[in-house]
Amino acid sequence: MEALEAILSRRSTRKYTEEMPSRELIEKVIEAGRFAPSGSNSQTTHFIVITDSAVLDELKDLVKSEFAKMEITEDTYISIKNSINAAKTDNYVFCYNAPVFIVTANRKGYGNAMADSACALENMMVAANALDLGSCWINQLHWLDENEAIRKFMIEKGLGEDETITGGLILGYPDSEDGLPSRKPLERKGNPVSWVE
């Protein structure tokens, strides 16, 4: 698949089969993330790859539990509010049952931490599409980065004490009729463009 086609046809996948992609495919996706641009070529984005279904189940239960403890205020960001409300019911969805969860982290206090990680996550999503894999950005761990229970769990899985969780990506085979990601174009209703000529 040509690069521009891979970018323009990428869509988030929110329904997966249980089949684990090969280690080779997962490594190709991660390599795309590792080759993303970074401020001053710092290359400090840390990729924590979770493929153990028991660990993913434990993490899902922990994240749901921690969101359920939170209170909603008038300043609560809409997506966090949705996660809190869902966690207090049986409707909570964490990683859409994808078999692979790649958590990104970067150095605390590093001004480009989010930008560098966002570039890596986007590269991985585009690569996944080109490899006929589904993917979706998952932000719950970023929102819970200061949560003591989440940090303890993630430090046990490789997060550095001096790192902040910047995002996450789920990956796997789409549970679709043809087994491929949806590539149906979505209408652009935002992201205005202003030209100064």
Q: For the segment 142-187, what is each residue's pLDDT rounded down to a tens digit?
A: 999 999 999 999 999 999 999 999 999 999 999 999 999 999 888 8
Q: What is each CA distance from 78 to 67, 73, 89, 113, in whole angstroms?
A: 13, 10, 17, 23
Residue 67 lies in a domain: yes
How much is the mean pLDDT over the chain? 95
Please give the pLDDT value at position 89.
Answer: 87
How are strands ordered across the β-sheet holding 100-107?
Answer: 46-50, 100-107, 163-172, 134-137
What's the pLDDT tens digit per position in 89-123?
888 888 999 999 999 999 999 999 999 999 999 99
By percentage, how much of the chain surpasses pLDDT 70? 100
Cα separation, 178 vs 13, whole angstroms: 14
Query: What is the structure's pLDDT at 172?
Result: 98
| Residue 181 is assigned to a structural domain of this protein | no
pTM score over 0.75: yes
* pLDDT at res. 144: 96
Counting the structural domains of the chain, the total is: 1
Q: Supply the pLDDT for residue 25.
A: 98
Q: What is the CATH number of the domain that holds 114?
A: 3.40.109.10
Selected residue with higher pLDDT from 186 and 124: 124
In a domain, 121, yes or no: yes
Six-digit token pair at 100? 């692979």
Residue 152 falls within a domain, yes or no? yes
Q: Give pLDDT, residue 186.
A: 85
Domain encompassing residue 21:
15-172
Query: Does residue 196 belong to any structural domain of this protein?
Result: no
Q: What mean pLDDT comes out for the span 79-91? A: 89
Sign of CA dihedral 189, 191, 196, 197: negative
In a domain, 7, yes or no: no
Would residue 138 count as lying in a domain?
Answer: yes
Mean pLDDT of 46-71: 96
Whether the Cβ atoms of residue 170 and residue 108 lie closer than 8 Å to each other: no
- Planar angle of CA 11, 14, 18, nearest 5 degrees: 120
- Please state, in angstroms and rounded to a whole number, the distance separating the CA atoms of residues 19 and 22: 9
pLDDT given at position 91: 81
